């Protein structure tokens, strides 16, 4: 629009001013709203989450349904993290040495994680639902009808000639069927080769009897700890035919009767008596040996000898030793009396107090009269006294 008079020009200027004011207000309002929105967003933004502690040197990550698995290379574990609240789930899972990579298989109902263990060249399988390591094993039984295999705390019967999964660390026990006994576990290697890993030692006679009667307990060697993948065979052997139950009672009666009868026959009674007599002889010989061993055989030992001689006489009177044993022991004790009195006589010189010499003579005579020394030793002592008087 063309406008040349002053009025028209004034109107145009006024309109431009108003439009400018409106534009500025509009722009100002928009900027204020934008700044206010950024402020609100800043207020609503949470702080950075705290770090989640896992194992030593976390080296790889695998993600499944709401869980994050972290392979910790230096402590040989896998940590499990909830992706919903960024917190650790349970304890770290023990795997092989040097876990360094994780793969996830989603083509199963329960996703399975495969952990590559770089330091021992193995792969650990982790069940995503249970967060446990599993092992794939195949069992065989030899002979095929000799027994079965029970696994876990629930003693579930394991399939044979079929691969199945079991928790790592589970125990499986080879259970023999009627007429068989466990022999060994073997690991089946490639190329039709195998390696015996556990075997039961040869049973004792008592254990054989229990096996024949099928009363023996499970052998400790029959339990296998499953820690890794593999194929294993439980070997059994056939037992002798089972003794019919009606014969067991008869056999027991015969054995007991034979034992009781043999215990009462004269030969056995004589053997038991001789053994007891031998023990008593050993006792008396040890008592005599003690007096010699101290190296101080003197008059102070006479009291001990008197008690020993009295005890020996009582034992013989009770029939606990025979006459020959009694005579031999009496001679041993007589020798001790002789040695003691001989030392006393030698200690008395011709210039010694005659009273002391007569006292020794009286003691020797009394000892002989009471049967503590025999006649030969008595005569030898009297001769020794006579020689001492003549010096």
pTM of the model: 0.43
How many helices, marked H, and strands, marked E, lie in the chain? Answer: 8, 17
Nearest CA-CA partner of 113 in 124, 122, 121: 124
What are residue 134's DSSP bridge partners? Answer: 125, 167
Helices (H), the chain: 6-44, 205-212, 245-264, 266-293, 302-317, 323-347, 354-369, 375-390
How far is 44 from 49, CA to CA, in rounded Å? 15
Considering only CA atoms, give the Rg of the chain: 52
The alpha carbon dihedral of 174, 180, 185, 188 has a sign of negative
What are residue 171's DSSP bridge partners? Answer: 225
Mean pLDDT per block of 10 residues along the chain (391 residues) reads 53 54 44 41 52 91 90 94 90 91 78 88 85 88 92 88 85 89 88 83 67 65 86 88 61 64 56 68 77 72 84 82 83 85 75 70 84 86 75 60
Q: Looking at residue 149, what is its pLDDT?
A: 93
Q: Looking at residue 272, what is its pLDDT?
A: 63
Q: Looking at residue 46, what is its pLDDT?
A: 52
Q: Looking at residue 136, what is its pLDDT?
A: 83
Q: Looking at residue 69, what is its pLDDT?
A: 94
Q: Looking at residue 380, what is its pLDDT?
A: 84
The alpha carbon dihedral of 174, 177, 183, 187 has a sign of negative
């Amino acid at each position: 629009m063309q406008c040349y008079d002053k009025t028209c020009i004034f109107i145009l200027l006024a309109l431009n001013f108003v439009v400018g004011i409106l534009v500025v207000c509009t722009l100002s309002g928009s900027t204020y709203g934008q700044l206010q929105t950024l402020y609100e967003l800043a207020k609503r933004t949470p702080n950075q989450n705290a770090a989640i502690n896992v194992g030593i040197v976390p080296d790889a990550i695998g993600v499944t349904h709401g869980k994050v698995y972290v392979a910790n290379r230096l402590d040989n574990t896998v940590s499990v993290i909830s992706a919903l609240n960024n917190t650790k789930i349970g304890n770290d899972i023990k795997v092989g040495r040097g876990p360094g990579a994780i793969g996830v298989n989603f083509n199963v109902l329960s996703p399975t994680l495969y952990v590559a263990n770089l330091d021992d060249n193995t792969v650990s399988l982790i069940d995503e639902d249970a967060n446990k390591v599993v092992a794939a094993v195949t069992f065989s039984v030899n002979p095929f009808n000799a027994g079965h295999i029970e696994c876990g705390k629930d003693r579930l019967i394991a399939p044979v000639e079929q691969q199945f999964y079991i928790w790592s660390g589970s125990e499986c026990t080879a259970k023999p069927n009627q007429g068989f006994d466990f022999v060994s576990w073997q690991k089946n290697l490639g190329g039709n080769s195998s390696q015996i890993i556990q075997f039961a030692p040869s049973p004792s006679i008592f254990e054989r009897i229990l096996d024949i009667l099928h009363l023996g307990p499970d052998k400790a060697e029959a339990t296998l700890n499953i820690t890794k993948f593999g194929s294993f065979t439980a070997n059994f052997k056939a037992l002798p035919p089972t003794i019919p139950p009606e014969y067991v009672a008869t056999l027991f009666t015969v054995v007991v009767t034979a034992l009781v009868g043999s215990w009462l026959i004269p030969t056995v009674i004589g053997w038991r008596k001789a053994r007891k007599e031998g023990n008593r002889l050993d006792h008396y010989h040890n008592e005599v040996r003690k007096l010699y061993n101290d190296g101080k055989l003197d008059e102070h030992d006479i009291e001990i000898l008197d008690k020993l001689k009295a005890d020996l006489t009582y034992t013989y009177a009770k029939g606990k030793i025979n006459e020959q044993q009694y005579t031999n022991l009496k001679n041993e004790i007589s020798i001790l009396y002789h040695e003691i009195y001989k030392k006393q006589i030698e200690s008395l010189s011709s210039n010694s107090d005659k009273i002391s010499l007569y006292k020794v003579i009286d003691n020797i005579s009394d000892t002989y009269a009471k049967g503590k020394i025999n006649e030969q030793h008595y005569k030898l002592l009297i001769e020794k006294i006579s020689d001492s008087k003549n010096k």
